[in-house]
Structure 1
């Protein structure tokens, strides 16, 4: 009874995988919906039934990789647990995503695709930003609990994640540096959490 739905899901998965391969191989501009359809062995109409445009398909891929690499919604403020422990747990999930080769490859494609298209860049950033809300909510909860200074939670979240990305994302995307080793990742996670709390934590 669920066979039609499963077939639809399989076609969608085939389209997404084909698009990932094509974007990685040819870049955003040179990849067409026709080529994606051919690689996925489906009709062009089927591709458009799932995704209204190439931009929508590309954004969906980035979001899928984001979700598969790290479950951002799992972050919940726990009053009885130390802020350091909670932040390190969150940052390790972020590191999982930032170490995913598919995500890094497609991020390079995204950067190249958005350099000459501010509207496209804004759309992608807005889509990904929606998945950053859990850390902002966590910061607000910690502030209400008197554990963090009452400053702009959005800026605080950007500062926290910026420290991680400046070492474990942008050098890999922009300069082709290797992904951090497990040991390097752990040092970065602990240092980032400690620096954030060193400035924003309220002395108890």
Structure 2
């Protein structure tokens, strides 16, 4: 047997996969910080490349354009505001499940990150309606549809009475996200201090009370 035959087999490919994932993660993180600080319009691929410590070419090897990068950032962080789909065989009460779906008991740091992402999404969607459309088309955002599926599933199990899952899902999302964003914006505009940790806790308790009220309507035994 020759020496060449005694050499161990060299497996190829894995390092490149790891390198790709690491580069992608760095780009998404760089874009996240840039979009939050500068907004969509003022964020350039050059700035993202600088923050991610990669070349502009590396960005285009992973993402088609800036809209694709923005959608990916939103998709990466959407876990902060909706926890769907739910685990199979979940035995929690409807009330507790909805609290978990809307992540009403997250940490203070996660709450701050959620506020930043929600504000970014809403602000940029106002300035760039086509960006909002793209988020839905690319399924970076499809929380309403997922919530509708959950409501319909619970209806089929006899746990809820939902005549229109779309209206019910929209109402629940308005209750939660309508309370999470505007107060902070009003405080900023009026020059008032933003909500502190205690203020956020009170805000979440109010949201929980509203969800309980909705549950009484769609689940009289709640």
TM over 0.5: yes
Is 2:96 aligned against 1:96?
A: no
Q: 1:59–1:124: 8 Å Cα contact kept in structure 2?
A: yes
TM-score of the two chains, using structure 2 as the length reference = 0.75
* Correspondence for 1:178: 195
User: Which shows bigger deviation, 41-50 or 111-120?
Assistant: 111-120
Structure 1 partner of 2:206: 188
- 2:5 match: none
Which structure 1 segments of 5+ residues have no match?
A: none
Contact 2:119–2:181 (8 Å) recurs in 1: no
TM-score by length of structure 1 reads 0.81
Contact 1:135–1:157 (Cα < 8 Å) also in 2: yes
Match of residue 49, structure 1, among 45, 61, 82: 61
Aligned 8 A contact 1:114 1:121 in 2: yes
> Computing the radius of gyration over CA atoms, which structure comes out larger, 1 or 2?
2
SS in 1 for 2:159: coil
Structure 1's 42 and 68: CA in aligned 2 closer, same or farther, altered over 3 A? same
Residues 26, 52 of structure 2: 8 Å contact kept: yes
Distance 2:37 2:204 in 1: 32
In 1: Cα distance, 2:143 partner to 2:107 partner: 13
Matches within 5 A, 1:116-195: 116-125=127-136, 127-173=139-185, 175-176=187-188, 177-178=194-195, 181=198, 183-184=201-202, 187-195=205-213
Of structures 1 and 2, the one scoring higher in RCO (CA 8 A, sep 6+) is: 1
Q: Tell me if structure 1 keeps the 8 A contact 2:82–2:101.
A: no
After superposition, what is the alpha-carbon deviation per residue over 1:162-186, rounded to whole angstroms, capped at 9, x for unaligned?
Answer: 1111222332356444266464255
Q: Which runs of 4+ in 1 moved over 6 A?
A: none
Q: Following TM superposition, by how much is the alpha carbon of 1:187 offset from its aligned partner in structure 2, in angstroms? A: 1.8
* Mapped partners of 2:26, 2:116: distance in 1: 19
Higher helix share: 1
Give the number of equivalent residue pairs.
202
Note if contact 2:162-2:168 (Cα within 8 Å) is conserved in structure 1.
Answer: no
